[in-house]
Amino acid sequence: GASHAAILEESMHARDQLMEQNFALDKARQEAEMAVHARNDFLAVMNHEMRTPMHAIISLSSLLLETELSPEQRVMIETILKSSNLVATLISDVLDLSRLED
């Protein structure tokens, strides 16, 4: 009879361990999902916050090119325009990558 009781106790102990592990896994999964949502929210905000000033820089640089400038000023503004277009593209690429990961 003693061995039967020992086996029963052993199986109950194993079941309790399994339940604890499942609970821990579930909690970890929920935390991971929350982290992904937090990251996506952050990226969406950053996207918006970065695009707004980038568009201002690009638009104003373009408008400046239509005014009378010295050759030196023109080269500077053209460089600003190229650089800001590149940054705008990089911002888009980073966001596209982060969306693909989801």
Q: Under DSSP, is residue 1 helix (H, G, I), strand (E, B) or coil?
A: coil
Q: How high is the pLDDT of residue 97?
A: 77
Q: Structural domain boundaries of the chain? A: 2-101
Tokens for 79, please give them. Answer: 């460089």
DSSP 8-state symbol, 102: -
The burial class, CB within 10 Å (0-12 / 13-18 / 19+), for 84 is buried
Class of domain 2-101 as given by CATH? mainly alpha
Confidence of residue 71 (pLDDT cuts 50, 70, 90): very high
Query: What is the three-state SS of 44-92?
Result: HHHHHHHHHHHHHHHHHHHHHHCCCCCHHHHHHHHHHHHHHHHHHHHHH
Find the mean pLDDT for residues 52-69: 95
Q: Distances from the Cα of 67 to the Cαs of 19, 60, 75, in angstroms?
A: 72, 11, 13
What pLDDT, in 10s, does the model give residues 26-52? 999 999 999 988 988 888 888 888 888
pTM: 0.58
